[in-house]
Homo-oligomer: A and B are copies of this chain.
Amino acid sequence: MRFFSDNAAAACPEAMAALAEANRLDTAYDGDRWSARLDSAFSELFETEAAALWVSTGTAANALALAALCPPFGAVICHRHAHIQTDECGAPEFYTGGAKLLVVEGEGAKLTPDAVAAVHDGVRKDVHQAQPAVLSITNATEYGLVYTPDETAALGDLCRARSLGLHLDGARFANAVASLGCAPADLTWKAGVDALSFGFTKNGALSAEALILFRPELRDATLNRRKRAGHLLSKGRYLAAQILAMLEGGVWLRNARAANAAAASIAAAAGARLVLPVEANEVFLQVTSDEAERLRAQGFDFYDWGPGEARLVTAWDSGPAHVEALAAAIRAL
C-alpha cells in the first residue's frame, strides 16, 4: 500500500489503450495525426489559442518554459521549495543558459504577491545583478496547497506590473482544477499565466506532459529548444495519443478527483495531525518516528518529510480499500 508518490503510479486504462491505438505507422516526430490535434484540443480546453507541445517529463516542460521566458542573464523568482529549485538538478539553469533562481519564502510552498514583490524589488536595477524575468509558481504546490484563480491573478497582476513572465508548474494542475472546480482558463491565461507545464504523468499517463504556451510567439523557439534538448521523440504519437485520450471525456479530471478524494479521506482521519490543509492529493502529517514505524509495519509506505513529519501522496489509482485502511490506521495511532 504505497503512498510514497503519485509519480510512480500505474498508467490508467485510457492511456494504455491510447498506446495500442497509436501503435501503427504514422509520421515521425510530431507530424502524426495525434500530435497535430494537440493545439486545438488544448485551445478548446483553455478557451483561447494555445500552443501545446508534448514532452516526457515535467522537468523538461518546466525548463523549456523557463528558457522561453528568461534570458541567460536573467533570474527566475520561485519558492524556496519549488521543484525547479530543489528537484531538477539545475535543469532551469541548464536550459536557460545559466539564469539564476531567486527564492522566496512562504507557507506550504505558496507565494504571496507581497513576498514576491519584496524579493523582486530588492534587486538593484543595474547590470551587476541578474534581473528577474519570470515568476514560477506551482499549483497545486509541492505541499499540496492550491492557488485560487484570484490568488493566481494577483500574482499575474504583479508580473504584468513588473514585466515578468509567469510560469505555472502544473505537475498537479489537474488536482488543483479538480479541487477548485473552476475552469482551466481561470487558473492560467485569464490570471496572467504565460506558460503552463500541464502534468499528465502523475495523473495516470505513462510518461507524458504537455507544455502549454499561451503566447504563440514563444512557440517556434521552444520547438527548436525541445529538439535540441533531445525531447523530440521520433514516436511522439504515443505521447500525444495518451494526452488526447485523457483530455477526452474528462479522464484527467476524473483521475484527479479520485486522488483528491482519497487524500481528503486520509485528512479527515488525520485531524489535528495535519501540518497543512489538504487541498489536493498530498497529506502532511505530524507523526513521531515510533508512529511512522507502526504505520510502516502495517504495510504503508510513505516519505519521511523532515523530523516528525510524513508525506503521503494519493494517486488516481489509490484503491479505496487501501485508503480506508490507512485512514483507520492513522485514527488508531
Contacts and interface: CB of A to CB of B under 8 A. Distances in A.
Contacts of A97: 72, 94, 97-98
A221 B71 contact: yes
Interface string A213-235: 00000000101111111111111
A250 B244 CA distance: 34
Given A97-B72, A101-B100, A234-B57, A228 B19 contact: no
Interface in A222-260: 223-236, 238
A89 interface: yes
Interface in A1-31: 2, 4-5, 7-11, 16, 19-20, 23-28
Contacts of A95: 230
B235 A7 contact: yes
Contacts of A24: 10
A130 B225 CA distance: 10
Contacts of A56: 56, 207, 230-231, 233
A72 B207 CA distance: 26
Contacts of A101: 100
Interface residues of A, number: 72
A25 B318 CA distance: 10
A90 B100 contact: yes
Given A24-B10, A127-B232, A206-B235, A72 B57 contact: no
How many identical subunits does the complex contain?
4
A206 B19 contact: yes
B98 A130 contact: no
A201 interface: yes
A230 B60 contact: yes
A52 to B, nearest CB: 16
A137 B308 CA distance: 34
Interface string A85-129: 011111101111111110000000000000000000000000111
Contact of A89 (B58, B89, B94, B127): B127
Nearest to A220: B127
A26 to B, nearest CB: 6
A221 B73 contact: yes
Interface string A289-333: 000000000000000000000000000010000000000000000
11 contacts: A4-B28, A8-B235, A56-B230, A57-B231, A59-B227, A60-B229, A73-B221, A73-B225, A73-B227, A90-B100, A201-B235
The 10 closest A-B pairs by CB, nearest first: A60-B230, A93-B98, A8-B28, A7-B234, A59-B230, A97-B97, A73-B224, A89-B228, A127-B227, A89-B227
